[in-house]
Amino acid sequence: MRLLVFTCFLATGVALRVRGVIDRESLLIAKFGFQKTVSTEDIDTRGYVFGNVSSNSDLDSGLTMSLLPGGYFDAFSDHVIDSDESCRAAFAEIGGAAYDSACNPSGAEDFLRRVPCDVGTLCKDEDQPKLVVKYNQFTYIVEDFQHPRFWFLSISPCRRQPSLNCTWKYTAVPNGVEIKYDIWLVNGNPYKTERNPLEYQFSFEKQDTAELYLVFLLTYAVLCVVSWCNWRLVKYRLGHPVFVLLASIVCMFLGLGLTSLHVCLFAVDGVGLPALGCVARFLRTFSQ
Ligand SMILES: *[C@@H]1O[C@H](CO)[C@@H](O)[C@H](O)[C@H]1NC(C)=O
Ligand SMILES: *[C@@H]1O[C@H](CO)[C@@H](O)[C@H](O)[C@H]1NC(C)=O
């Protein structure tokens, strides 16, 4: 697997907006936790994955993008894809479950898209343009009324060929060919304007974390003031234990401040400032 641009979020699991370029082989693009769908507000509580995947070369939609829930993905990711045989094995189970207008019209699951898609148009598998989020080439809608779940988005060099009895074939991506993607993964209706940004951009397991950080930040602000006052009582002496405590609280406060800034930016643009997060983690560790 060679990967030119790698987004930090794969590692942290807080996907959001992923952008990058791949030039061959199978790639896990993102892992994202979609919240449980509430049946009375289904439009606003579903998960949405939308974006563009295009290439600088005519690959004739020879790759397959899959959005898979954990169970399917575990089995799928065990395969190293490098031949027709491995494509067939990797997609055997998924291909049976996934809807495909030509090859499996009775499939119930919307897992697969042929990519890359032609610039300026919808992906070929989007047969209901109304469901595609505006200015994007594809849209997946995730609905789960039982529980929140992790889903995995990946692109594999395999194609299913209706002209060959729908068998899976390996697609060798020539050197120099790039596949560009720009994809959002969100919880909630992308068209809704008055949504909670702390929930929309965040994978379900992070939704409360964002709010918690802000609460911690406030608490530490109060602690800073209190311990500053204590330090004043000991006449601002540097070696005093009260000073050590103050220094540690200030470091923690700065760390939390940077983290909160990262989280707030992230809530707005889905990217944030990952470097800030790293400095913040250092400060928080240092403070202890
Ligand atoms: C994605 O594709 C759509 C339709 O082809 C286009 O209007 C839009 O500008 C593209 N967006 C990006 C970020 O490339
Ligand atoms: C498709 O399957 C049929 C029946 O199994 C077989 O006769 C035919 O040769 C196959 N076609 C291709 C292109 O593999």
Q: Is the CB of 52 under 6 A from ligand 1?
A: yes
What pLDDT sits at residue 85? 95
What pLDDT sits at residue 23? 57
What pLDDT sits at residue 272? 78
What pLDDT sits at residue 258? 87
What average pLDDT values come out for the chain (288 residues) when binned by 10 residues? Answer: 29 54 71 88 88 87 92 89 92 94 92 93 91 94 90 92 90 84 89 74 77 86 90 86 89 87 77 77 77
Best mutation site among 21, 117, 137, 179 for ligand 1 pocket (most ligand atoms within 8 Å of CB): 137
Least distant ligand from the CA of 119: 1
Q: Is the CB of 129 under 6 A from ligand 1?
A: no
Nearest CA to ligand 2 atom 2: 165
What pLDDT sits at residue 16? 65
Least distant ligand from the CA of 165: 2
User: What is the pTM assigned to this prediction?
Assistant: 0.75
Residue in the block written with tokens 């000991």: 234
What pLDDT sits at residue 2? 27
